[in-house]
Amino acid sequence: MPELRVDAMIFDMDGVVIDSGDVYAKHWRMWGAEHGYDYDRDIAHVHPGRPPVETVRIVAPDLDAEAESVAFNDSLDAEDGDDAIAAMPGAGALLASLPPGRWTIATSAFRGVAVTWLEHVGLPVPPALVTVDDIENGKPAPDPYLRAAELLGVDPARCLVVEDAPAGVQAAKSAGATVLALRTTHGRGDLGLADYHTAGLHTVSATVDDGEIVVSWESAAD
């Protein structure tokens, strides 16, 4: 079982600690239908890991991306969360095992959605939470992970980032972090930049030894 010693861990949210894929697919399908885009052809391969504003810029460059992203956020109401999201297996136990102030979440979601969904599924909201509201450039730019490391007071090179989407893996690697990719939403071929691969958080454990976080996991089969 591989093992890594780091100073901090940074988690993506959707597809890593929260299973929200059905909610996003539903709302991007609705958005696509409204604007004349096919979800499977035009959107499905673009939106994972990216903030809505970046997805709109890529899929529909003629639209007002800022306005569309605000409207998309407004559509992600609490009723969807109540019915369709859940904590990923192993997420609660892993987060509870980590020392406070030594982990956080960096997500492409808006802050209101992130806080509401984390609270709904019973996961803690870290004080150093980084959302799309807190940075200038979203994933795949390194900004979210650079900001998260800054808030934790840790060198990005001493952070383990846990991601599930190609854009997020690229962001973390560009920030200088080590990346553990989860096979929850994408296969190895899409996550080739990651340093390590595992099936999900249920395979990951962490302890503290001599001031360092010791992380171990079961490697994913190719």
Residues 10-40: pLDDT tens digits? 999 999 999 988 888 888 899 999 999 999 9
Q: Which residues contact 65 (CB under 8 A, 6 or more apart)?
A: 53, 54, 56, 57
CATH superfamily of 3-20+85-216: HAD superfamily/HAD-like (3.40.50.1000)
What is the pLDDT of the chain when averaged over all its residues?
Answer: 92
Its pTM stands at: 0.88
The catalytic residue among 12, 80, 143, 164 is 12
The catalytic residue among 14, 19, 143, 164 is 14
Among residues 66, 42, 44, 72, which one has the least CA distance to residue 54?
Answer: 66
Q: From residue 124, how far is each of 7, 37, 93, 95, 218 by CA, in Å?
A: 20, 36, 11, 8, 25
Q: Is 110 left (phi over 0), alpha (psi -120 to 50) or beta?
A: beta
Whether 46 and 196 have beta carbons less than 8 Å apart is answered as no
Tokens of 53: 């504003």
Q: Cα–Cα distance between 68 and 177 in angstroms, integer?
A: 31
Tokens of 43: 């959107």
What pLDDT is stored for residue 208 in this prediction? 96
Residues 56-92: pLDDT tens digits? 999 999 999 999 988 888 887 644 555 678 999 999 9
Active site residue 209: no
Mean pLDDT for 30-57 is 91
Active site residue 12: yes
Burial state string for 52-61 with b = 16 or more CB within 10 A and e = fewer than 16: bbbbbbebbe
Q: What percentage of the chain has pLDDT greater than the value 70? A: 96
